């Protein structure tokens, strides 16, 4: 890495840490494929807007008890810089993950344990997928030593997953990592090394001996032997138990022998207890979860796949998708394949297709610069956060279209019994992981349908470009510098009253400018008029949408949360589809009814789509009458 890139990521980390209230406000920090996941001491100290405005940050999500900063593919580099600046990663001893509900703590635990080696799992899964394709093309290749060596590289990390888990779980629970690895090694040893006499005189593994009917005991206590290859929950719980035994051993052993006595006591206690109780109980729990998923897919695969695929991007949106990782891994351990991953190719590729449609359709050059790389990242690598936060969610409709396409495609793929034979990130280049199980043709059709639906809906139904596509809101001070020749359209005030800036409206959706630029009026009279000539796109008692002949779209919204009045106090004078001229009466409003019901009658005028214009300039100030100049459209 160059010095320049180091400074870049260090700068991002520094600004993010300032935004979350400083490193002393960080209880713990972990990262997943695209996000920094903070658990904060005092969430109120975090400045979400400041973090979101940091260069290199896509967006911020507050969910599951975490302050999640979406960075993208370079998140690991920013994470390392944050650690270099003194942030603690947290652990059991520091109370990491102790805040929030059970789901929040579970997600925090899963991300902190799985994330460090997630890309290794993805890599071996992809290698296994490539080997599957090679054997399909040339069956004899599967009998060669070359295949065997490559397959060892692809399969070993997953079979001996407990050892990888032991390292990260030990870091999480503040346990000795080498002792944790020794415990995990003992678990997989039981299934790999022959140490017990078999029925024919040959040696067999502990697992084979116990599962073959042999009497397996520890100090006379019967041991229920289960397989610990690829074991997730038993390993995590064993290391958690180790962390407590270890601390107790350190307290009771003399300092002169502590260095070797502590791991000795820990191994002597934790390994047998894991074989006797922790392992069997947690294995049954994991098997139960995996079997439940298998049952759902067996009863109605199309419904299970459709619902799971349709909701997946919503789960990603809130960062709770990590809760499914242990179940997917458990499925792979039990059967060697997972239907859940196979269903997820459709929503991921649908998100890529919707983003590509935005790239083709938008007139916003800045949005194009984001949409192009985001679509490629989602399509090839399965990383959808840049597409979601940078493009589709900001435009709303494309995100919904991608979810719809994903649901349809996921249902089709699942109906063919498709499953992935490895842990992979669903993407175009990993589709071969689903080649060996189920109907691969239906898997491809499902993915294709998902992409076509998302792409077609985005292109045909369309979306409203971001207000930024027409330039940022210009303040009245800036408006004074705009020459008359630049003003091509003027919108009128819709109601008499006192003008207030849009950012002072006590509603975050309006005040943030997310819906567009404009202004607000505290009304003194109850008659509301059309601010421009055009066609009424929508008519509700409290809100009117109008599109001009030049494509400008505006919203006149009367009161905050007044939809709850269900029309009481409003007497509309127009209907949807009707053409109106600037200054025509839209509705009569009984302001007393609104205020008596406890609602704010402030009326908002917003340009939701400025068409081809380059700026929206508020010009009205102070007290106004209906039909006064309110907003000017420039360029």
Q: How far apart are CA 414 and CA 304, in angstroms?
A: 8
On whether the CB atoms of residues 384 and 428 are closer than 8 A, the answer is no
- Structure token digits, residue 325: 């990782």
Sheet holding 629-634, edge to edge: 487-492, 629-634, 615-618
Radius of gyration of the CA atoms of the chain, in A: 30
Q: Are strands 527-529 and 570-572 parallel, antiparallel or unpaired?
A: unpaired
Distant-in-sequence, close-in-space partners of 141: CB < 8 Å, separation ≥ 6: 134, 135, 147
Catalytic residue (choose from 32, 216, 552, 605): 32
Q: How far apart are CA 98 and CA 120, in angstroms?
A: 28
Tokens 């090679």 -> residue = 134
CA dist 374 → 271, 312, 371, 479 (Å): 47, 18, 5, 36
Q: Are strands 517-523 and 615-618 parallel, antiparallel or unpaired?
A: unpaired
Compute, in degrees rounded to 10, the torsion defined by CA atoms 415, 419, 423, 429. Answer: -80
Q: How far apart are CA 588 and CA 598, in angstroms?
A: 19
Length of the chain: 635
CB atoms within 10 A of CB 331: 26
SS3 597: coil
Q: How far apart are CA 289 and CA 278, in angstroms?
A: 17
Distant-in-sequence, close-in-space partners of 96: CB < 8 Å, separation ≥ 6: 27, 28, 39, 89, 90, 108, 112, 172
- Structure token digits, residue 222: 């019967």
CA dist 328 → 164, 333, 349, 419, 617 (Å): 17, 9, 20, 11, 53
Strand-pair partners of 178: none
Q: How far apart are CA 347 and CA 316, in angstroms?
A: 11
On whether the CB atoms of residues 491 and 633 are closer than 8 A, the answer is yes
Q: Reply yes or no on whether 32 is catalytic.
A: yes
Q: How far apart are CA 361 and CA 391, in angstroms?
A: 12
Number of H helices, E strands in the chain: 22, 22
Q: Which residues of 342-366 are buried (b: 16+ CB within 10 A; e: fewer)?
A: bbbbbbbbbbbbbbbbbbebbebee
Strand-pair partners of 476: none
Q: How far apart are CA 629 and CA 16, in angstroms?
A: 42
On whether the CB atoms of residues 635 and 613 are closer than 8 A, the answer is yes
Distant-in-sequence, close-in-space partners of 258: CB < 8 Å, separation ≥ 6: 250
Distant-in-sequence, close-in-space partners of 73: CB < 8 Å, separation ≥ 6: 33, 34, 377, 381, 383, 386
Catalytic positions, please?
A: 32
């Amino acid at each position: 890495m160059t010095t320049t890139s180091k400074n870049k990521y260090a700068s991002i980390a520094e600004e993010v840490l300032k935004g979350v209230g400083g490193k002393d406000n960080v209880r713990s920090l972990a990262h997943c494929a695209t996000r920094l996941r903070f658990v904060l001491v005092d969430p109120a100290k975090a400045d979400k807007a400041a973090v979101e405005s940091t260069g290199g940050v896509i967006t911020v999500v507050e969910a599951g008890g975490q302050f999640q900063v979406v960075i993208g593919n370079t998140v690991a580099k920013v994470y390392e810089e944050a650690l270099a600046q003194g942030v603690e990663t947290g652990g059991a001893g520091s109370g990491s993950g102790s805040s929030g509900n059970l789901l929040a703590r579970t997600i925090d635990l899963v991300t902190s344990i799985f994330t460090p080696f997630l890309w290794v799992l993805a890599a071996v899964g992809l290698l296994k997928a490539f080997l599957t394709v090679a054997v399909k093309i040339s069956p004899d290749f599967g009998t060669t030593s070359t295949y065997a060596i490559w397959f060892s590289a692809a399969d070993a990390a997953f079979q001996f997953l407990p050892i990888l888990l032991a390292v990260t779980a030990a870091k999480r629970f503040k346990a000795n990592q080498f002792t944790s690895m020794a415990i995990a090694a003992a678990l997989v040893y039981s299934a790999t090394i022959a140490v017990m006499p078999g029925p024919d005189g040959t040696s067999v593994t502990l697992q084979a001996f116990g599962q073959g009917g042999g009497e397996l005991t520890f100090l006379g206590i019967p041991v229920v032997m289960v397989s610990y290859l690829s074991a997730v929950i038993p390993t995590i719980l064993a290391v958690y138990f180790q962390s407590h035994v270890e601390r107790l051993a350190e307290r009771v052993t003399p300092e002169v022998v502590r260095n070797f006595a502590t791991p000795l006591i820990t191994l002597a206690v934790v390994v047998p207890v894991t074989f006797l109780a922790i392992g069997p109980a947690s294995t049954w729990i994991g098997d139960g979860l995996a079997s439940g998923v298998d049952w759902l897919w067996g009863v109605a695969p199309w419904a299970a796949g459709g619902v799971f695929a349709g909701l997946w991007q919503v789960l990603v949106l809130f960062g709770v998708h990590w809760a499914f990782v242990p179940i997917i891994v458990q499925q792979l351990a039990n059967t060697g394949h997972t239907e859940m991953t196979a269903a997820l190719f459709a929503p991921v590729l649908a998100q890529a297709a919707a983003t590509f449609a935005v790239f083709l359709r938008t007139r916003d050059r800045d949005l194009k610069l984001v949409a192009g790389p985001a679509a490629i990242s989602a399509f090839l690598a399965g990383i959808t956060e840049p597409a979601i936060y940078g493009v589709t969610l900001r435009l709303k409709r494309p995100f919904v279209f991608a979810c719809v396409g994903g649901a349809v495609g996921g249902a089709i793929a699942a109906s063919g019994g498709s499953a992935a034979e490895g842990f992979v990130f669903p993407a175009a280049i990993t589709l071969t992981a689903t080649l060996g199980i189920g109907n691969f043709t239906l898997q491809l059709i499902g993915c294709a349908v998902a992409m076509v639906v998302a792409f077609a809906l985005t292109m045909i139904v369309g979306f409203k470009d971001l207000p930024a596509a027409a330039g940022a809101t210009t303040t009245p001070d800036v408006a004074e510098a705009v020459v008359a020749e630049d003003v091509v359209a003027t919108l009128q005030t819709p109601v008499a009253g006192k003008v207030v800036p849009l950012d002072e409206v006590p509603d975050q959706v309006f005040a943030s400018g997310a819906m567009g630029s404009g202004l607000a009026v505290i009304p003194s009279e109850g008659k509301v008029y059309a601010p421009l000539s055009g066609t009424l796109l929508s008519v509700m008692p409290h809100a009117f949408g109008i599109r001009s002949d030049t494509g400008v779209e505006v919203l006149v919204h009367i009161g905050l949360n007044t939809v709850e009045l269900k029309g009481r106090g409003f007497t509309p004078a127009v209907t949807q589809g009707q053409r109106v001229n600037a200054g025509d009466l839209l509705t009569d409003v009984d302001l007393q009814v609104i205020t008596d019901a406890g609602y704010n009658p402030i009326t908002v005028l917003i340009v939701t789509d400025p068409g081809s214009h380059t700026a929206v300039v508020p010009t009205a100030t102070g007290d106004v009458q209906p039909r006064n100049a309110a907003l000017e459209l420039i360029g």
